[in-house]
Structure 1
């Protein structure tokens, strides 16, 4: 069943959202809410769309589809990352049709209007002499690189707090030297669920019993508050505390920032960042916790650095280890479909089959992604039932509540701005 929602109905649903509970069905199922999400969230906020490593050379590009928008992200001849609307300035034809590639110039296949990778109009056949090329360059999209990660914002007036957020997270990212990394692997997985269900699922480990590969990398007490540690879990918790103390000493000796910063629902550009130990060998997300690549991302004296975890609203999460990094982007495709793009990054000189085994590197997150896709699809089926009613979040789902609170606040601000 598909629920429909008018604009006034959407405003009522936003206004009556109960704190601490999941959203009402139309938020997840209606085409009207999907259009509102694109307009109020994805067209107005900073979005992670790629790693710089996906654009290693001038002319390399990726395209990003966000509802009715299509954006070209490209490295120009001066080695700068730029972003443009994927729309010809002649009669509006789509310019680039592939998800990624490399170009010398951007040429419209309709009437051969030609643009440089700086967006400037270079050639417009059979136009009158008075045509001013400077007036017909590609329309720009705001783009920022932060520690090797590429963010775009479609809004004419993007959230003003991004500079502050970038300044706070860049010192955490810089030691991993992501801008000089290369892509080891990338997968695209379509989850048959609303993008908010994808993000809610990612923001909690209440369900992590369904992720045996991932759960092995975390301490058995991951997600527990100290007061909730049972006698059975106490030995594992003491082991975690020892690992945490050791990790903090290592981070301090290497000058790696590790304090948790959590501002997920208190600003327009919500984020959370934390460096913490992993279980097993403590080096990486692999079946035994050992480093997946012998060639580390940077000149770290040890691979036992656990993980640096970053989450940015509305659509991304990241894990950075000593040996490799993994980025995740959730891109809404429809009210009930979401693209999850996962990218594994390694040192530019790391050689597959010599420095790393790709199956070992990707095993944990490929399995986890597949398991999550099943869970999200089941959630979508459930919220689509007339019998569905919002349910309460558990204490372990605090970050889910923070995501939903952030989301509802952004919708409310957008709707109030239209009055």
Structure 2
């Protein structure tokens, strides 16, 4: 009886922590620094929901692969001989060795470096030396991982029965993303940052721009002030009305060109997401220092460089910015209670030539600066929430609405996981 009480005590404490969360306020400190909460986040959030991990254009040919780790689960994503994209546990079925240690590469077959068990690109075991007569290769295929391809954005799920509402996101977001043709892009740059902060601080920071004016001078060059939240005041009415007219006129023009633009907001769904195409300020072409295009070759079917910026957020771990000339994608992966991987990729047309059509420094300057600034903010927040003086503070109803929606989603999904076990 005593052992059972000890075994179930951490779960009960987590349930109590979830139950007393105060709506409209930030989370209590254990959500940001407790090993028990972190372990629950991996188990109930990252291993039971659809996690954005890569783009299809990273693996353009059969045998091309990328790897990723979600918690302690190594995953291999590759393109097979039929040009289909598959995901597997990156674990040999012999004695468990990791098959591919590199972040990306290309293979003919998958050969385990330990004892050379060999798998084809469909994950079937085709060679295992020194095994007894009658050993059935077909019983030792690689274990598959659920994968969904949203017009080139790749999501994986480790659950035995993944959330089915991912199909709602694929259906509704497909027309928004399709014109940018991710399959016909290439990764022009990738930068990984390890932030000394909990993954939820990273996501919360992303879901608001309350901090943008004072911290992101490069990013706000291309943003209308009315696009990222403000406290309503009578003296701002004229400016807001003007911005709303710009949005209305821009949406009508873009829709006529085959670019869906209207807001979709489903952040409370199990596979939560939100999108909207928004006008960019000044030249209005891209998120660059002069707001002009960073790449001369426009993406996919897009003919007009002035096509705004399509923003797309997914629960629990990604955000994306699609412009006429390039795409910036972000994935967030928790490493420890107080360290988080933030991976940023810049995509351009696959035929664009570096130094001719685009300059990497210009392409990446805005988000390189912004990522560094956000890293500092997250790390300072982690120092603060670790303090005995920290208490949950109130969110602004005007500028932190999406933070509240993220937190509500997280608490709901964590609570559901704790109840289901």
TM-score, length-scaled by structure 1? 0.95
Distance 2:275 2:252 in 1: 19
Matched-pair contact (CA < 8 Å) for 1:43–1:154: yes
Match status 1:405 vs 2:403: no
Distance 1:222 1:163 in 2: 29
Q: Deviations over 1:85-142 (max 9, x none)?
A: 1111011112111111111111111111111121110110100121111110000000
Q: Deviations over 1:19-49 (max 9, x none)?
A: 1111111111011111100000000000110
Structural mapping, 1:66-105, within 5 Å: 66-105=70-109
Name the structure 1 match of 2:150: 146
Name the structure 2 match of 1:46: 50
Name the structure 2 match of 1:251: 254
1:9 counterpart (13, 34, 52):
13
Deviates more, 1:367-376 or 1:234-243: 234-243
Structural mapping, 1:259-298, within 5 Å: 259-265=262-268, 267-298=269-300
Q: CA deviation at 1:235?
A: 5.9
Name the structure 1 match of 2:29: 25
Distance 1:298 1:86 in 2: 33
Distance 2:105 2:167 in 1: 30
Distance 1:252 1:85 in 2: 41
Which residues of structure 1 form unaligned runs of 5+? none
Match status 1:113 vs 2:117: yes
Q: CA deviation at 1:164?
A: 1.6
Deviates more, 1:252-261 or 1:197-206: 252-261
Distance 1:238 1:415 in 2: 46
Q: Deviations over 1:145-197 (max 9, x none)?
A: 11111110000000011112110100101111111111111110111100000
Matched-pair contact (CA < 8 Å) for 2:66–2:76: yes
In structure 2, the residue corresponding to 1:24 is in which secondary structure?
Answer: coil
Matched-pair contact (CA < 8 Å) for 1:271–1:313: yes
Name the structure 1 match of 2:223: 218
Q: CA deviation at 1:224?
A: 2.9
1:324 counterpart (314, 326, 339):
326
Name the structure 2 match of 1:355: 357
Matched-pair contact (CA < 8 Å) for 1:220–1:236: no
Distance 1:301 1:311 in 2: 25
Q: CA deviation at 1:362?
A: 0.7
Distance 1:260 1:410 in 2: 24
Structural mapping, 1:232-247, within 5 Å: 233=236, 236-247=239-250
Distance 1:299 1:89 in 2: 44
Q: CA deviation at 1:234?
A: 5.2
Q: Deviations over 1:44-75 (max 9, x none)?
A: 00011001111111111111111111100111
Match status 1:137 vs 2:141: yes
Name the structure 2 match of 1:378: 380
Match status 1:310 vs 2:312: yes
The number of residues matched between the two structures is 411
Matched-pair contact (CA < 8 Å) for 2:294–2:359: yes
Q: What root-mean-square deviation, in Å, do the aligned CA atoms of Structure 1 and Structure 2 show? A: 1.4
Q: CA deviation at 1:317?
A: 0.3
Name the structure 2 match of 1:195: 199
